[in-house]
Amino acid sequence: MQEERSLLDTITSVLTPVHKDGYKFIAAFAAGSFILSYFSEPLGWVGAAATLWCAYFFRDPERFPPERGTAVVSPADGRVSAIETVTVPKELDLGGGARTRISIFLSVFDVHINRSPVAGRISKMVYVPGKFLNAELDKASEENERQCLTLETGSGERIGCVQIAGLVARRIVTFVSEGTTLGLGERFGLIRFGSRTDIYLPPGCEPLVRVGQRAIGGETVLADLASGTRKSA
């Protein structure tokens, strides 16, 4: 019995937890697999594979943010698809003007849980309905369905974070509301089935990543708010 318990603990320790938002989708995929298997065994196996993929998509691994309190971490797993100086969306209420935007593109194989890029309070939260264009397109920032959040740190810095739906993504889910205080790397939402997340850095804050680099949500440092990494504005 002790050996069986040890084996179970070992298996559990290496399995990535699934976020509760995915339970209903996994159940639907499993039910579909069962129905397909009734008519055709090969189709049943295809359904079983799809069910496993669904569970994989909704995985929610633990992450360990850096101890550096001035770090701006990636809000999502994925590839850094663009680093540009752009006009700030009015929904973020960051005073207009231009800021550096770092875009993280999430494929259907990436973890889709979004995490807070800084420790701070959500001072603004705006949902904008829109299209479902390819999230890698530049105009997706202005035309796609999106959820905009502005986070204010204890030192008064304000960071813009935008969840953007994509060609396949059809639902942006948030776990928080305006006024919520988040810790660095704390979960605040997810986007179902492929998407993009944008970060708008404070003026003078330099990116510490490059285009094409892989980012890990809640861990990869995108920038540092400390004065040593800031340009004079």
Which residue numbers are catalytic?
195
Cβ-based neighbour number of residue 87 at 10 Å: 11
Which are the contacts of 113, defined by CB distance < 8 A and separation ≥ 6? 19, 60, 76, 187, 189, 190, 217
Q: How far apart are CA 27 and CA 33, in angstroms?
A: 10
Task: Identify the CA nearest to 101 among candidates 114, 119, 89.
Answer: 89
DSSP assignment string, 104-173: EEE-TTS--EEE-SSSEEEEEEEEE--B---TTSTTHHHHB-EEEEEEE-TTS-EEEEEEEE-SS---EE
